[in-house]
Structure 1
């Protein structure tokens, strides 16, 4: 997995350079994003007189999150729960003690 190429500041004191993230804060932070996964799905097969339809490749965007302890760094490995990893993106970071509420700007 290679999240966003280049260095990215996700929160004050939290930055990632490719798949390597650094936390310079006094508390743990959760870094999160999504990974695109190529998944094969089988269409419904209702007419048994015909051969089964071939699988169809679809793309699913699955969330991932990893905790980076205070004053430490960590290599991010986000994978797919089924399917082939097509690349991941970083979405942000928040203090582990204060998870986002789901409201705008969280």
Structure 2
């Protein structure tokens, strides 16, 4: 299997913002599995939250995908009351779930 990489330049995201989100996700993914599973996306019920290693499988011939992730949908940094679009916007609708640690994880992700 060939794996390719690409880089995007001139995207306008300040390096400080990139550094903060990378730091936050490194801390989050280094947490014990038991802690991360509290936000397991299938338990949450709206496809948002934690996805463990081999937890999804896009190719039935394999035993699972070799990645772990944390899925979020778009939301504003400052939440609005009665956000009808967020509640009724298809299969990915509903509020994001956010871990309690590391502190600032939500803000780092949304700022990015």
- Where relative contact order (Cα < 8 A, 6+ residues apart) is larger, the structure is 1
The two structures have a TM-score, normalised by structure 1, of 0.23
Say which structure is richer in strand: 1
Structure with the largest fraction of helix: 2
Q: Which protein has the larger Cα radius of gyration, Structure 1 or Structure 2?
A: 1
**TM-score, normalization by structure 2:** 0.22
